[in-house]
């Protein structure tokens, strides 16, 4: 997913690798992404220090706009002779689902290498991964299963529109039947504001964007960042898990 691609990039260039610059993403992998995954990458460009993250519009972009009744737009591309400060090329064909370990979004490791890390809480949502695609993927993994008894699963749709569509599709029912709770759209625990604030020594897997010390509560708590599939699988097993473990 887009979350894995952006975590991979941040893991390579670091949290200051694009400081106060624009990050432009392109290539076959980007063209194959949904708009929801592209939004995730643009959202988390700031975690590499970037001023913004951009992806050139294509047919997927046009379809997204027209589906929402947007007309009369201009499609902008970078100049053919544009000069870039740095150009990085990656073969992403063998990237596994990734997790950013505390205390930095750049501290990235494959989920399957972290199966020893037990957790207390899972948060699926936020501006980074609370869109419809994210909720659909999480629900697909959780359907017919139960969250580990000691784990708190909190699901937060990113907007009221996403919440309503998830309700229509039966996704909310899946989360509740699995033992999770569903909130109205809010930043909530992402910035340690409310709902799911971590206590001393607790660990969370979250689809949010930051995992700095004290980000989600007590300074001696820990936050691990992942995509929604890893988060859902981890909620079921009570530890960080690759989605293949519960498929």
Domain boundary among 39, 71, 95: 95
Q: Please give the structure tokens belonging to residue 63.
A: 């379809």
Domain boundary among 48, 67, 95: 95
> Which CATH number is 15's domain given?
3.40.1060.10
pLDDT in single tens digits along all 247 residues of the chain: 999 999 999 999 999 999 999 999 999 999 999 999 999 999 999 999 999 999 999 999 999 999 999 988 999 999 999 999 999 999 999 899 999 999 999 999 999 999 999 999 999 999 999 999 999 999 999 999 999 999 999 999 999 999 999 999 999 999 999 999 999 999 999 999 999 999 999 999 999 999 999 999 999 999 999 999 999 999 999 999 999 999 8
Domain boundary among 49, 77, 95: 95
Q: Which of 106, 117, 120 is nearest to 153 (CA)?
A: 120
Q: Based on the domain organization, do 206 and 184 belong to the same domain?
A: yes
DSSP class of residue 110 equals E
Q: Based on the domain organization, do 46 and 83 belong to the same domain?
A: yes
Q: What is the pLDDT of residue 247?
A: 82
Q: Total structural domains in the chain?
A: 2
DSSP class of residue 198 equals B
- Tell me how far apart the alpha carbons of residues 151 and 167 are, in angstroms, rounded to a whole number: 23
Question: How do 203-206 and 121-125 pair as beta strands?
Answer: parallel
- List the alpha helices (DSSP H) in 53-152: 59-67, 126-129, 132-142
- Burial degree of 91 (CB within 10 A; 0-12, 13-18, 19+): exposed
| Cα–Cα distance list, 204 to 99, 210, 223, 246 (Å) | 12, 12, 5, 19
């Amino acid at each position: 997913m887009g979350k894995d691609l952006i975590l991979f990039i941040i893991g390579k260039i670091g949290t200051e690798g694009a400081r106060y610059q624009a990050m432009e993403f392109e290539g076959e992998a980007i063209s194959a992404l949904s708009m929801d995954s592209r939004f995730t990458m643009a959202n988390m460009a700031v975690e590499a220090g970037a001023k913004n993250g951009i992806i050139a519009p294509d047919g997927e972009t046009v379809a997204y706009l027209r589906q929402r009744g947007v007309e009369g737009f201009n499609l902008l591309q970078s100049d053919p002779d544009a000069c870039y400060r740095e150009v990085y090329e990656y073969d992403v064909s063998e990237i596994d689902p990734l997790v950013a370990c505390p205390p930095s979004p750049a501290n990235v490791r494959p989920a399957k290498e972290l199966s020893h890390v037990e957790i207390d809480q899972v948060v699926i949502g936020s501006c980074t991964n609370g869109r419809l695609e994210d909720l659909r993927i999480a629900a697909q993994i959780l359907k017919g299963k139960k969250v580990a008894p000691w784990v708190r699963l909190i699901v937060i749709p990113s907007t009221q529109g996403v919440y309503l569509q998830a309700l229509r599709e039966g996704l909310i029912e899946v989360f509740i039947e699995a033992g999770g709770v569903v909130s109205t759209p809010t930043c909530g625990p992402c910035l340690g504001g409310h709902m799911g604030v971590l206590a001393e020594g607790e660990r969370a897997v979250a689809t949010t964007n930051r995992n700095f010390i004290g980000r989600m509560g007590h300074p001696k708590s820990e936050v691990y960042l992942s995509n929604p599939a890893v988060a859902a699988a981890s909620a079921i097993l009570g530890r960080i898990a690759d989605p293949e473990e519960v498929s």
